């Protein structure tokens, strides 16, 4: 598993390096510069291209926000709250025996919408 982690980080580094190279290339493009003037390209086309580039950069900046850190914090808070609730339930159930635990019903395999069990379907598919 360590090898997978190392290769994943190596591939992400390569991907980020490639993205940075592309960004540098786009930033150095003359048509994206504010003082760009060319006879065969209209000012309207240039402004549209610059606007699209700004939007792209905004979207890219928004997508790089660390979403995992926020979810980890919320999970930690939820875990803390659920452990408090669990502790309260265990203390209240030990003091009072009014809570009855329901036995877990065995789950039946879900049938497909056309009425066959999944096992039957795969058996039939294997015999085709």
In which band, very low, low, confident or very high, does the pLDDT at 35 lie, cut at 50, 70 and 90?
Answer: low
For the chain, the farthest-separated pair of C-alpha atoms sits apart, in whole angstroms, at 87
Residue 86: inside a domain: no
Domain count, the chain: 1
pLDDT at residue 93 tops 70: no
Residue 102: inside a domain: no
Structure-token pair, residue 115:
């009425």
3-class DSSP state of 70: helix
Q: What pLDDT, on the 0 to 100 scale, is given for residue 25? A: 80
Residue 111: inside a domain: no
Going by C-alpha positions, the residue among 18, 17, 15, 47 that lies closest to residue 31 is 47
Indicate if the alpha-carbon torsion angle 21, 22, 25, 26 is positive or negative.
Answer: negative
Residue 96: inside a domain: no
In which band, very low, low, confident or very high, does the pLDDT at 66 lie, cut at 50, 70 and 90?
Answer: low
Residue range(s) defining the domain that contains residue 35: 2-68
In which band, very low, low, confident or very high, does the pLDDT at 1 lie, cut at 50, 70 and 90?
Answer: very low
Query: What b/e string do you get for 71-105 counting C-beta neighbours within 10 Å, with b at 16 or more?
Result: eeeeeeeeeeeeeeeeeeeeeeeeeeeeeeeeeee
Residue 11: inside a domain: yes
pLDDT at residue 101 tops 60: no
Mean pLDDT of the chain: 69
Residue 60: inside a domain: yes
Least confident of 3-7, 25-29, 48-52, 112-116: 3-7
pLDDT at residue 34 tops 50: yes
Residue 89: inside a domain: no
Residue 92: inside a domain: no
């Amino acid at each position: 598993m360590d090898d997978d982690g190392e290769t994943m980080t190596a591939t992400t580094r390569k991907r980020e390096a490639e993205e940075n190279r592309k960004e540098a290339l786009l930033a150095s493009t003359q048509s994206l510069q504010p003082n760009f003037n060319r006879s065969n390209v209209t000012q309207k086309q240039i402004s549209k291209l610059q606007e699209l580039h700004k939007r792209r950069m905004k979207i890219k900046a928004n997508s790089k926000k660390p979403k995992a850190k926020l979810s980890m914090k919320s999970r930690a808070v939820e875990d803390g709250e659920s452990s408090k609730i669990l502790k309260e339930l265990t203390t209240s159930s030990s003091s009072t025996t009014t809570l009855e635990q329901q036995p877990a019903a065995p789950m039946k395999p879900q049938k497909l919408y056309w009425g066959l069990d999944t096992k039957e379907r795969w058996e039939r598919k294997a015999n085709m």
